Structure 1
Amino acid sequence: MRKAFISPAKYVQGENELLNLGYFVKTFGKSALLIAHKDDIARVQGQLDETAATFGVEIFASNFNGECSREEVARLQEVAKAHHSDCIIGLGGGKAIDTAKCVAQGEALIIVPTIAATDAPTSHSAVLYTPAGEFDDYAYFKQSPSVVLVDTKIIANAPTRFLVAGMGDALSTYFEARATQNSFSNVNAGLPCGVRTGECPPAKGTIAAYTLAQVCYTTLLENGLNAKIACDNNLVTPALENIVETNILLSGLGFESSGLAAIHAIHDGLTMLEGTHHYFHGEKVAFSAIAQLVLENAAIEELYEVLDFSLSIGLPVCLADIGVESITMAEAMEVAEKACILEESIHSMPFPITVEAVASAIMAADKIGKAYKESHLVK
């Protein structure tokens, strides 16, 4: 049996850690191409200038256009060659980070997330879009980033909604890992080998990955509310440090190396609904977690635990919370059909999946979440 586990070569987290960026650039050479949105660069320009001067390196801005498209990746690869860049830095949110992964192609890559809204920074995959912003394809690389550098002071000063959305994304990790383990399904850590290329057999998850997924969930429950309060007040506390690590590292290693299941597939289906387009990935994932628990008829105590946690930090628990005030069975069926396409992770659930069952779970999760919110939320 083939198992696989994947992770960054180095993960570093702490206050003012951005000031050490130049040190990591220097481990690759003397220069780096910085892929980041101009607004994110403006937020940290002082730290970038200081670390470049301290360590004697050059950091060149790339004029990133904001979209992770094949055209932008090709342009930036030429810019990197023109500057003789020794490494690539992806700084900011998901689009900049994924573009940096594509430009670096698995070599000499430093990722610097300025928000903790998803678990993408540690992964060896990226999402490609067209120049117009429509989904194009997934890209997988031979390894995860060389360095993931997380400055918790910067994250504490970002809007709290990002941190909470990251907790929504992390909330899925354990439940999808459990389903994948119970069904003995394959995990992303085996890619690009396996199904996508035919080069080698697919891989199962490891004990290490499943353990990280479990700790991801318990750390959320124990630290989530206090971390939110700290971020509301732009404070770095032990709880906030724990949640940043949970959102980025534990969830990142957990999803790639222990598997995805119904939650992320239902999320993908929900993107068909216009109302969801203004909500973050992790916010839609949070509702999808409730839908998976309903689909698998999880213990009522577990369902209520997730609902209580979500309400405590302001995560969505019903469709209205992600911009869908009402949904018909026909609309739910369309969402479910998209969630159930052959390539989706929902087929890692440990029982046969039907479109009808998924649609019913979405409808029921919406009703359960709405009723629970009405009965427990303080008016």
Structure 2
Amino acid sequence: MEKLMRAPSRYVQDKDVILKMKDHTTMLGDSFYIIASKTAMKVTRPKIEKSFEETDVKLVFETFNGESSKGEINRIRDLVKENGSNVIVGVGGGKTIDTAKAVAYFEKLPIVIIPTVTATDAPCTALSVIYTDEGEFSEYLFYPTNPDVVMVDTAVVANAPARFLVDGMGDALGTYFEARACLRSNSPSLAFGGITQAGFALTKLCYETLLEYGYEALLAVEKKVVTPAVEKIVEAATYLSGVGAENGGLAAAHSIYNGFTVLEECEYTSHGRLVAFGTLVQLVLEGSPTEEIEEVIDFCLSVGLPITLEEVGTKEIDGKKLMKASKVACAEGESIHHILGGVTPEQLFDAIIATDNLGKHYKDLI
């Protein structure tokens, strides 16, 4: 299998960097269609407009409806055509970004990504997660190229609720372990190629950065300030995790997330929190050393990520529901099968129960 490495054409990160948006994006076009959630619009629109003062660049702002579904993608595509825009800009969280990427792909236009939270590693990847209008996972859309420009304003990120930073760390937590599983089984990355040394190195650096700076960064963001630790964790959760996952591949942790989306109890549990719990389940599935599992548990406890089923929403264990989630996670084509030897729903079910019990044990020791 040929080795392959992909990344955004340009990644820019700094405090108030949106004020320099013009400098990094005008080579793409002169008519920007900006898709943003209501909150993201309020936070970023003044900075975006200020950046383009005294230019002839046309800016059109559109409020995202909340779900990265085919219906929302098609709605915005029609509006883009009506306005004759030649650059798409996605501003906000993961679902807004995924929708903007899909619109840009289908309309054959360049894409600029401006995340306002670090809840997922969506900004840098060449894929979108598509959901049904009801919010259940539907499919992945894969693109031939990564975003043209990714701009991360750490002042904006630090002023978002701290739980979003925790969510981003949860999503990033699985990056190294999933890539390692793909490497062991010689499975392809999300770029459909073999894993390069550079790609795998990014995943390892991502994990090491989380362990070293995660707790310190969380304390800073709780006070809405930007410190070197915050800069490092934002880069880890956005670039190292996004580019690392794409070039390293996914395994059980993200499949477990997909499975848990069918449970009503987990409807309001974030992607990152479910991936963090799924990472622990993956380590149990793989028979990882106790010391490694304990290291991950200690990190989760330090930043408030879940280590039990109750913490992801399932207060009472229902065997039938958990088996349903396990079957969805183990469906044909799911990345959980990148685990060496494959995984059956029964094996996953047992690992989930064992992980929950392990987490409860550690909780009792606190």
Give the TM-score of the pair, scaled to structure 2: 0.95
Corresponding position: 1:267 with 2:269: no
The CA deviation at 1:302 is 0.5
Q: CA deviation at 1:254?
A: 1.1
Give the equivalent residue in structure 1 for 2:74: 74
* Aligned residues of 1:88 and 1:110 also touching (Cα < 8 A): yes
Offset at residue 87 of structure 1 (A): 0.6
Q: Give the superposition deviation at 1:132.
A: 4.3
Code of the aligned partner of 1:170: A
User: How is 1:34-113 mapped onto 2 (pairs within 5 angstroms)?
Assistant: 34-53=34-53, 55-105=55-105, 107-113=109-115
Residue matched to 2:198: 208
| Distance in 2 of aligned mates of 1:217 and 1:22 | 33
DSSP-derived class of the 2:4 partner: coil
The equivalent of 2:290 in structure 1 is: 300
Question: What one-letter code is carried by the residue in structure 2 that aligns with 1:110?
Answer: V
- Secondary structure of 2:26's match? helix
Secondary structure in 1 matching 2:191: helix
Residue identity matched to 1:175: F
Supply the AA of the counterpart residue of 1:18. I
Deviating more after overlay: 43-52 vs 285-294: 43-52
Aligned counterpart, 1:193? none
Deviations 1:97-156 (A, max 9, x none): 111111111641100000001001101111223444444432121101000000000000
Residues 107 and 146, structure 1, Cα contact 8 Å, conserved in 2: no
Partner in structure 1 of residue 7 of structure 2: 7
- Residue 322 (1) aligns with residue 324 (2): no
Which of 232, 241, 250 is the equivalent residue of 2:231?
241
Q: Displacement of 1:54 after TM fit?
A: 5.2
User: Is residue 281 of structure 2 the alignment partner of residue 291 of structure 1?
Assistant: yes
More displaced 10-residue stretch of structure 1: 117-126 or 27-36: 27-36
Offset of 1:63 from its aligned partner?
3.6
For 2:336 and 2:123, the matched residues in 1 are separated by 23
> Displacement, 1:41?
0.6
106, 128, 131: which one pairs with 2:130?
128
Aligned equivalents of 2:342, 2:135: Cα separation in 1: 34
Q: Percent identity?
A: 43
Q: Which moved more, 1:32-41 or 1:302-311?
A: 32-41
**Residue 170 of structure 1, aligned match among 146, 169, 172:** 172
**CA separation in 1, counterparts of 2:127 and 2:56?**
31
Question: Aligned ranges for residues 334-345 of structure 1 at < 5 Å?
Answer: 334-345=324-335
Q: Which residue is equivalent to 2:211?
A: 221
Which stretches in structure 2 are left out of the alignment for 5+ residues? none
Partners of 1:354 and 1:79 lie apart in 2 by 45
2:156 to 143, 154, 157: 154
What does residue 144 of structure 1 align with? 146
Aligned partners of 2:345 and 2:139: how far apart in 1?
A: 24
CA distance in 1, matches of 2:195, 2:54: 42
- How many angstroms apart in 1 are the aligned matches of 2:241 and 2:355? 23
The aligned residue for residue 353 of structure 2 is 363
Look up the equivalent residue of 1:2 and give its one-letter code.
E
Measure, in 1, the Cα distance between the counterparts of 2:166 and 2:76. Answer: 32
Q: 1: CA distance between counterparts of 2:342 and 2:102?
A: 36
1:312 maps to 2:314? no
Q: Say whether the 8 Å CA contact 2:137–2:261 is kept in structure 1.
A: no
Kindly state the Cα deviation for residue 347 of structure 1 after the two structures are TM-superposed. Answer: 0.6
1:199 aligned partner:
none
Match of 1:33 in 2: 33
- CA positional deviation for 1:86: 2.3
CA–CA separation in structure 2 for the residues paired with 1:221 and 1:13: 21
RMSD of aligned alpha carbons: 1.5
Deviation at 1:29, TM superposition (A): 2.5
Greater mean alpha carbon deviation, residues 69-78 or residues 318-327: 69-78
Q: Aligned partner of 1:37: which letter?
A: S
The count of aligned residue pairs is 364
AA aligned opposite 1:158 = A
Measured in 2, the distance between the counterparts of 1:229 and 1:359 equals 35
C-alpha distance after superposition, 1:150-190 (max 9, x if no partner): 00000000000000010000000011111110000111112
Deviations along 1:308-354, whole A, 9 cap, x unmatched? 11000111110111111121443332222111111111110012322
CA contact (8 A) 1:25 1:87 kept: no
TM-score, normalised to structure 1, is 0.92
- Runs (4 or more) in structure 1 with deviation over 6 Å come to none
SS, match of residue 67 in structure 1:
coil
Do the aligned partners of 2:190 and 2:249 also contact (CA within 8 Å) in 1?
Answer: yes
CA contact (8 A) 1:67 1:95 kept: yes
Matched to 1:171, the amino acid is L
The worse-fitting range, judged by mean Cα deviation, of 103-112 and 123-132 is 123-132
The alignment partner of 2:34 has SS state of strand
Query: Which residue pairs with 2:118 in the alignment?
Result: 116
In structure 2, the partner of 1:373 is 363
CA distance 1:152–1:342, change in 2 (3 Å): same
C-alpha separation between the residues in 2 aligned to 1:274 and 1:361? 21
Q: What's the CA shift for 1:44?
A: 2.0
Matching residue's letter, 1:6: R
SS at structure 2 position matched to 1:78:
helix
Distance across 2 between alignment mates of 1:2 and 1:366: 39
